[in-house]
């Protein structure tokens, strides 16, 4: 198992953390990860992360749900077991489509929501019984942790920079990969 050194800088305020992330990036240091107790608006942009493509997958999953609903209702209500409901015979799918719109909508939402959750878990590498990767339990309550890679023995320069950004605690840690 390979290990590398990282610095954990702990903050107690999200605004101070945001300013610190910007300062660390401006100083050309690589931020490995930031752990927060709640989502911090704008943190992804401040860290320089690429925009998410999950919205595209949500649209695709919704389209799949719409197609499944259409094919399913056409087979069930038109081809396999046509019924005369309220004097409205089922000769074609298009004639009866207004009655099918609620089902089409519901399956579109169902597929988009459930497949998005599955995609999010797979993309985040989260699965049942997975050991937590949180380096400090305080980040689940009221602290924020910025993990910065140490390169070329720049520990003292980085530590000084982090002190100036308002870090309340700075720890040098061996991180196992």
Measured CA distances, 86 to 82, 89, 93 (Å): 13, 8, 16
Three-state DSSP class for 39? coil
CA angle 169, 173, 174 (to 5 degrees): 175
Given pLDDT bands bounded at 50, 70 and 90, which one contains residue 5? Answer: confident
CB proximity list for 142: less than 8 A, separation 6 or greater: 12, 37
CB of 50 within 8 A of CB of 159?
Answer: no
Q: Is the pLDDT reported for residue 138 higher than 60?
A: yes
* 81 vs 14, higher pLDDT: 14
> pLDDT tens-digit profile of 56-87?
999 999 999 999 999 999 998 888 888 777 77
CB proximity list for 90: less than 8 A, separation 6 or greater: 77, 78, 82, 83, 84, 96
pTM: 0.72
Q: Which CATH number applies to 5-37+139-174: 3.20.20.70, 3.30.70.120, 3.90.850.10, 3.40.1350.10?
A: 3.30.70.120
Give the domain ranges of the chain: 5-37+139-174, 53-124
Which residues lie across from 163 on neighbouring strands?
none
CB of 20 within 8 A of CB of 148?
Answer: no
Which residues lie across from 25 on neighbouring strands?
none
Q: What is the pLDDT averaged over residues 128-148?
A: 89
Residue 154 has a CB neighbour count (10 Å cut-off) of 15
- Distance, in Å, from the CA atom of 125 to the CA atom of 52, rounded to the nearest integer, reads 16
Q: Is the pLDDT reported for residue 1 higher than 60?
A: no
Q: What is the pLDDT of residue 125?
A: 87
Q: What is the pLDDT of residue 20?
A: 95
């Amino acid at each position: 198992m390979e290990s590398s050194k990282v610095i954990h800088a702990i903050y107690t305020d999200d605004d101070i953390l945001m300013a610190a992330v910007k300062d660390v990036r401006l100083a050309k240091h690589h931020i490995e990860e930031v752990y927060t107790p709640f989502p911090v608006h704008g943190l992804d942009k401040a860290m320089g992360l690429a925009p998410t493509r999950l919205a595209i997958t949500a649209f695709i999953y919704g389209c799949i749900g719409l197609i499944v609903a259409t094919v399913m209702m056409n087979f069930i209500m038109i081809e396999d077991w046509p019924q005369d409901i309220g004097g409205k015979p089922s000769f074609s799918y298009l004639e009866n489509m207004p009655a099918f719109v609620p089902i089409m909508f519901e399956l579109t939402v169902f597929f988009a929501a459930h497949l998005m959750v599955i995609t999010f878990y797979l993309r985040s590498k989260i699965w049942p019984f997975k050991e937590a990767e949180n380096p400090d339990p305080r980040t689940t309550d009221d602290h924020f942790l910025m993990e910065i890679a140490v390169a070329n023995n720049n520990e003292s320069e980085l530590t000084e920079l982090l002190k100036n950004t308002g870090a309340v605690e700075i720890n040098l840690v061996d991180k196992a990969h």
